[in-house]
Amino acid sequence: MKFNENITLLEPERSVWQVIEQIAYSGMQEEAFYVLDIGDIVRKHEEWKLKLPKVEPHYAVKCNDSMMVLEVLNSLGTSFDCASKAEIAKVMQLGVDPSKIIFANPVKQASHIRYAANAGVATMTFDNETELHKIKSLYPSAKLVIRIRCDATAAQCPLGMKFGVEVENAFALLETAYSLELDVIGVSFHVGSGCSDPPVFHRAIQAARALFDDAKRIGFEFTLLDIGGGFPGNKGSSLTKIAEVVNGALDKFFPDGCGVKVIAEPGRFYVASAYTLATLIHSKREVKNGDGTHSFMYYINDGVYGSFNCLLYDHAVVTPIPLKETATTKKLTTGTIWGPTCDGLDQVTGPVMLPEMEIGEWFVFQNMGAYTLPVASTFNGMPIPKVNAIANESTLLMLKDVPSLNEDNFKGNDMPNNLLAELDLSEQNRYHVDQQSTSSSLASFPMSFSSDSFIDDFVEPVN
Ligand SMILES: *Cc1c(COP(=O)(O)O)cnc(C)c1O
């Protein structure tokens, strides 16, 4: 398999911010757009391997099912957590072996179980008795993982009210599975997405250990521990705290591995910080306050029916950053930010202190990769922003051993020199940036680029 998606190569010293400036100030771009930094995903994977070396990541596809993300993660060697027939199909389209997929939805539709059976995706979770009967009739040889409930005291998106058998009822459920002659191979949990209670992983791993022992008394020999998701993914967040708790608990409750394979289902961790969104202020309204002061309402071209659905569904909090640097030296006034649709609910931020912004200026939002695009709609005819994937040379070198990535994936043959040498491609059309041209001031920004082909690939000219 090869990558289907295009990546644009950047000079090593280029930042995501500079790319956003170039696109935004090209004079041709009006639509909101994303820049996806492939290097960010690669760095996350490095962090995972370093800090949780004993835990095999199964990327939770629902978090961001972009083909580009799945291809990069597959290249890096992660496995996958799918929750539906379509997610399984999408991952298998990449050539992923079914043994690297866990069907981690405790309540599955019959047609999806039949699909998994046909595809050979054997590992699947359950948390209730009727699910066991369903699996018994549709896929009796499935490898089952019991999902227990163990909630973080604080999480951005709690899941326990919907999924996970209460620990005190887990034993009886396993007895039922045993009497149905089903093959239960391990325990899973999900402490809640966006977990801010690292010690919960200790409690959950301890509860899982107890269930491993219970299962043995029933007659099962468990071999899989699945610690779910919940890991942070925003810029500046770190895996360190949770990793310390997880590694400590694994050493204590599963010393020397005990022949148990440990996996996790990170979603947010891998993608949140890789996506940066740029939105244009297309309209502006001045509001006179009672006390003689005034504030502004800014209308941007993406909202809660698009990328910012994360405000409603993912309980996200977003921070607008004015793209134009000079704007930050201005006096701050109160502003609210609104999406482009005609719905009053379509509000991106409440009152925030901002330099006064003008129509045609841009707000940038970081950490927009998790639980945003897959849920976005074109309600009211508003388009979903285009994603521009970029990678620098060192990132590509990390991916270069990957057979799925080849020269077709790069726009305008923008390959690094050392790859060029290997692939015998010419250096023409390579993208070079004049260091002088990186000023962020709109007025002084030159409207010509050393490589027009680069910017043509990115911008969406409006008629
Ligand atoms: C959503 C989900 C995940 C991913 O959770 P994150 O908090 O994004 O890491 C993992 N496993 C299951 C079963 C999920 O439903």
In this prediction, residue 415 carries a pLDDT of 43
State mean pLDDT over 183-187. Answer: 98
Considering the domain architecture, whether residues 108 and 241 belong to the same structural domain is answered as: yes
Confidence of residue 357 (pLDDT cuts 50, 70, 90): very high
Considering the domain architecture, whether residues 225 and 289 belong to the same structural domain is answered as: no
Confidence of residue 256 (pLDDT cuts 50, 70, 90): confident
Confidence of residue 331 (pLDDT cuts 50, 70, 90): confident
Q: Which residue has the higher pLDDT, 54 or 395?
A: 54
Final residue belonging to a domain, choices 250, 271, 292? 271
Q: Is the CB of 265 under 6 A from ligand 1?
A: yes
State mean pLDDT over 168-172. Answer: 98
Considering the domain architecture, whether residues 312 and 257 belong to the same structural domain is answered as: no
In this prediction, residue 97 carries a pLDDT of 97
Q: Which residue has the higher pLDDT, 311 or 447?
A: 311
Atom of ligand 1 nearest to the CA of 195: 7
In a domain, 175, yes or no: yes
Q: Per the structure block, which two tokens stand in for 262? A: 């440990």
398-413 b/e with 16+ CB inside 10 Å = b? bbbebebbeeebbbbb
Ligand 1 mean position, distance from CA 83 (Å): 10
Q: Is the CB of 339 under 6 A from ligand 1?
A: no
State mean pLDDT over 47-75. Answer: 96
Residue in 354, 366, 342, 373 with CA at minimum distance from that of residue 298? 354
Residue in 306, 324, 323 with CA at minimum distance from that of residue 368? 306
Considering the domain architecture, whether residues 31 and 46 belong to the same structural domain is answered as: no
Q: Which domain range does residue 393 map to?
A: 8-37+273-461
Ligand 1 mean position, distance from CA 243 (Å): 17
Examine the pLDDT at 68 and tell me if it is beyond 90. yes
- Which pLDDT tens digit goes with each residue over 379-391? 999 999 999 999 9
State mean pLDDT over 391-416. Answer: 63
In this prediction, residue 228 carries a pLDDT of 98
**Which residue of 107, 190, 231, 314 sits with most ligand 1 atoms within 8 Å of its CB, as the best mutation to test the pocket?**
190
Q: Is the CB of 164 under 6 A from ligand 1?
A: no
In a domain, 117, yes or no: yes
In a domain, 2, yes or no: no
In this prediction, residue 444 carries a pLDDT of 26
Domain of 199, CATH number, reads 3.20.20.10
In this prediction, residue 12 carries a pLDDT of 72
Residue with CA closest to ligand 1 atom 5:
229
Considering the domain architecture, whether residues 220 and 326 belong to the same structural domain is answered as: no
In a domain, 387, yes or no: yes
State mean pLDDT over 100-129. Answer: 98
In this prediction, residue 258 carries a pLDDT of 82
Examine the pLDDT at 323 and tell me if it is beyond 50. yes
Query: Which residue type sits at 392?
Result: N
Q: Is the CB of 314 under 6 A from ligand 1?
A: no
Does the CA dihedral 86-92-96-98 come out positive or negative?
A: positive
Q: Is the CB of 230 under 6 A from ligand 1?
A: yes
Ligand 1 mean position, distance from CA 159 (Å): 9
Confidence of residue 226 (pLDDT cuts 50, 70, 90): very high
State mean pLDDT over 430-443. Answer: 29
- What gap in Å lies between CA 188 and CA 58, rounded to an integer? 13
Considering the domain architecture, whether residues 365 and 421 belong to the same structural domain is answered as: yes
State mean pLDDT over 269-290. Answer: 97
Considering the domain architecture, whether residues 213 and 328 belong to the same structural domain is answered as: no
Q: Is the CB of 189 under 6 A from ligand 1?
A: no
Query: Which residue type sits at 377?
Result: S
Mean pLDDT of the chain: 87
Atom of ligand 1 nearest to the CA of 268: 8
Confidence of residue 400 (pLDDT cuts 50, 70, 90): low
Examine the pLDDT at 462 and tell me if it is beyond 90. no
Confidence of residue 433 (pLDDT cuts 50, 70, 90): very low
CB 156 within 8 A of CB 314: yes
Considering the domain architecture, whether residues 31 and 43 belong to the same structural domain is answered as: no
Domain of 361, CATH number, reads 2.40.37.10
In a domain, 1, yes or no: no
Ligand 1 mean position, distance from CA 265 (Å): 6
In this prediction, residue 362 carries a pLDDT of 98
Final residue belonging to a domain, choices 271, 291, 326? 271
Q: Is the CB of 44 under 6 A from ligand 1?
A: no
Provide φ and ψ at 393, rounded to 5°. -60, -45
In this prediction, residue 456 carries a pLDDT of 61
Q: Is the CB of 190 under 6 A from ligand 1?
A: yes
Confidence of residue 9 (pLDDT cuts 50, 70, 90): confident
End-to-end Cα distance, the chain? 37
Considering the domain architecture, whether residues 266 and 279 belong to the same structural domain is answered as: no
Our answer to whether residue 150 is catalytic in this structure is no
In a domain, 197, yes or no: yes
Considering the domain architecture, whether residues 45 and 29 belong to the same structural domain is answered as: no
Ligand 1 mean position, distance from CA 185 (Å): 20
State the total domains in the chain: 2
421-430 b/e with 16+ CB inside 10 Å = b? eeeebeeeeb
In a domain, 370, yes or no: yes
Final residue belonging to a domain, choices 230, 255, 271? 271
Considering the domain architecture, whether residues 267 and 304 belong to the same structural domain is answered as: no
Examine the pLDDT at 399 and tell me if it is beyond 90. no
**Which residue of 103, 125, 151, 193 sits with most ligand 1 atoms within 8 Å of its CB, as the best mutation to test the pocket?**
193
In this prediction, residue 463 carries a pLDDT of 53
CB 239 within 8 A of CB 51: yes
3-15 b/e with 16+ CB inside 10 Å = b? bebebbbbeeebe
Considering the domain architecture, whether residues 263 and 279 belong to the same structural domain is answered as: no
Q: Is residue 227 packed enough to be buried (19+ CB in 10 Å), middle (13-18) or exposed (0-12)?
A: buried
Provide φ and ψ at 36, rounded to 5°. -105, 115
Confidence of residue 401 (pLDDT cuts 50, 70, 90): low
In a domain, 87, yes or no: yes
DSSP-derived secondary structure letter, 384: P
Among 121-125, 245-249, 299-303, 321-325, whose mean pLDDT is lowest? Answer: 321-325
In this prediction, residue 396 carries a pLDDT of 78
CB 323 within 8 A of CB 23: no
